[in-house]
Amino acid sequence: QVHLVESGGGSVQSGGSLRLSCAVSEWPYSAVYMGWFRQAPGKEREGVAVIGSDGTTSYGDSVKGRFTISQDKSKNTMYLQMDNLKPDDTAMYYCAADISISWWLHLQQGAVPRFRGQGTLVTVSS
């Protein structure tokens, strides 16, 4: 059974950096779109970044140029390097995985990824 486990969240000052990790227990499918979305209290879910099995990436507008998504297939792990963090980045960050990219494209319309982790909290203070 597929399980996603996030790690790496924490508290940091504005301008600082954090790296999130998402470990995948197994992936029995041929295609995969993995990524991150976040949700802050009182706000809608927001797509942060996604990476396909071919390495193609896409980012949310608010994090472009500051966040980098990557994957290590040998370790079944995905990473999110977050630099120049801002207070608006404060949120619960969730790792997501699906055989389709639909969850990323339709996240704000209520789409739910097939698999997701429990979340890791990122807090950025000014």
What element of type H or E holds 102? helix 102-105
Cβ-in-10-Å burial (0-12, 13-18, 19+) of 75 comes to: exposed
Alpha-carbon gap, residue 87 to 123, rounded angstroms: 7
- Compute and round to an integer the Cα radius of gyration of the chain: 14
Could you read off the pLDDT of 33-62 as tens digits, one per residue? 999 999 999 999 999 999 998 999 999 999
Which residue has tokens 């963090």? 85
Could you read off the pLDDT of 58-105 as tens digits, one per residue? 999 999 999 999 999 889 999 999 999 999 999 999 999 999 999 999
